Structure 1
């Protein structure tokens, strides 16, 4: 029997386009470093997703790239040509066969791409400004023609997602990657139509939304989700502030998107600057958005109590990431009143039981502070 306290987590949800979710819990998009050398989805990766697609209502995949100079991670699967559609289809089918909706996260890494992963090591961004981290390369500023080409590639990734059988795409406008780089006054110092004022820095993100929506209206025969993920603030000066983000949110709310996904390491984190408000970022954003578009939150949610408290902010959807790596049966346990059995630490003996591909496992156990790991 489900504990009454957690029933809101298990309520169904219907998007404005009619797509229905069985509950409010979504697998957050997380890189797993585990695809094949040729950019196809690996067997280990499929098994990992199958293990985590039972119980949650929707799975947002790790990011995929659609432009050769957009590959941001070793072991990242590709969506840059039609040859990748069978690989993408295999992943979509594996997720959907477990009863979850499958959403493909589409992205370009921009100046965050490792030089060895892109042709000729030619790292690109909105402007020739390096990221504020040791040894970060100075990217080349994209030309107008290249920018238009990348926008087109987001439309093509969307078409491939539709043809592969996904239920939607999530535009990755968060975590310092290219779309955020165009919105950020740190990485975008341009003085043309792509940069300058906040409104001009919004040009590229909004053009991608328009291109993706156009691809959906042209190619999708049935309802297809389009979400947008963003990071509400940057630590750099100059950098994105909460005031900037509220302008982004207002602009996105006009675009008939299916959801907005607020990327946070800590769900309850508070603003650094840009607004005089003592509430959490997610509460400020939810209030600003109101009923215009559903908001999805995320960030270090582990227990059923934490998840229930998160939904009390008014957001309708909750993404859970690291916790579903540690306990893929999280939703089932909440459903069955076994929330006290939820596992919130990782044992070094459990790789096989948890079906975690080796590249991801090595990253998890060798990155201090990322996961609570026990011997």
Structure 2
């Protein structure tokens, strides 16, 4: 069995010192324009020791792709100096630094976009309370967004990051193009799975073109995917297996499955004999390493994930227990935070934006 402290060399040539990765999490710590803050840099630095890599929270590649206030941005060259500071702070702990890049698509609102209408593959609102109906992107806008992912990759390279992760999960734009719920297009970007995949494929081409042109060192490209949608129509697990087949044969360094629990079972009756992660791992055929995630808090959780994945992403546990990876390495399991996170938010030191975000999530309360 793979051990968490084994190193791993990815296809691009980048080597992680161990199999532990900090999962990308929303923290709402950036300035209003998406520039990295000093508190944000300290937040990542405080959690970097003992990890193989940190994946930052989502960074928008275009202003129109901003999903929430306090979100990181990689949409302009003016962001590069602070992004460089962030990457350097993570590197100072001996850890690789990846930045997750995305576009929110219909999963945002006019207030966040300073009055601009949201955009998506089609003019179909998300099935959630208060969701606004987006405008279908024009072909020119699609091409511009494809280029924006490539430009964001260039900025990540210039800022000193070791890689980017494409956020194709959590119902954001990449997933919206693949989903039959949000994509009702009748042109070359819609229709069957091949048409709905076209945008993803072009984004991958744009990202790798930027790597080939600008990277003066080995540079990682990963992809995060959500396995199923609840919408009708929506992405079903068979669709995801088809998508994994495309990703499996690409230049990607890894696939990162998005799950709230690593032992979650698929909704489809045809895939309930094993957890989703096991089917995904099998579908990758050993051609790409898989990052497993979902409720990892203990040594046993880590070992369980590594039964069906090459790496383990840890999210909320690291948010409230910044030295968790060090404790794991030192065998100090009894010192790991074990209380519910809704209790931890009240006594773990967090800066004001992060505390307000977490308190609103767990307690329904925000400081004014």
Q: Shorter-chain-normalised TM-score: which range? A: over 0.9
- The residue that corresponds to 1:330 in the other structure is 324
Structure 1: how far apart are the matches of 2:269 and 2:214? Answer: 40
Any idea what SS the aligned residue of 1:110 has?
coil
**1:18: how far off?**
2.0
RMSD over aligned Cα, in angstroms? 1.5
Structure 2: how far apart are the matches of 1:274 and 1:16? Answer: 35
Aligned pair count reads 361
Alignment gaps of 5+ in structure 1? 371-375
Alignment gaps of 5+ in structure 2? none
Any idea what SS the aligned residue of 2:325 has?
helix
* 1:139 is the counterpart of 2:134: yes
- The residue that corresponds to 1:41 in the other structure is 36
- The residue that corresponds to 1:373 in the other structure is none
**1:273: how far off?**
1.8
Structure 2: how far apart are the matches of 1:237 and 1:308? Answer: 35
Aligned pair partner of 2:238 in 231, 243, 246: 243
- The residue that corresponds to 2:335 in the other structure is 341
Cα contact 1:68–1:119 (8 A) shared by 2? no
1:5-50 residue CA offsets vs partner (Å, 9 max, x unmatched): 9x81111111122211111100000011011123211111111111
Any idea what SS the aligned residue of 1:133 has?
coil
Distance change in 2, residues 1:348/1:166 (3 Å):
closer
The correspondence of residues 1-375 of structure 1 with structure 2, limited to 5 A, is 8-273=3-268, 275-313=270-308, 315-345=309-339, 346=341, 347-352=344-349, 356-368=350-362
**Runs of at least 4 residues off by over 2 Å:** 274-277, 344-352
Distance change in 2, residues 1:300/1:58 (3 Å):
same
Using the size of structure 2 for normalisation, the TM-score is: 0.95
**1:351: how far off?**
3.6
**1:306: how far off?**
1.0
1:212-235 residue CA offsets vs partner (Å, 9 max, x unmatched): 011001100110000000100001
**1:59: how far off?**
0.3
1:31-86 residue CA offsets vs partner (Å, 9 max, x unmatched): 11011123211111111111111111100001111211100111012211111111
**1:274: how far off?**
7.0
Using the size of structure 1 for normalisation, the TM-score is: 0.93
Structure 1: how far apart are the matches of 2:345 and 2:327? Answer: 22
Any idea what SS the aligned residue of 1:98 has?
coil
Structure 1: how far apart are the matches of 2:80 and 2:353? Answer: 24
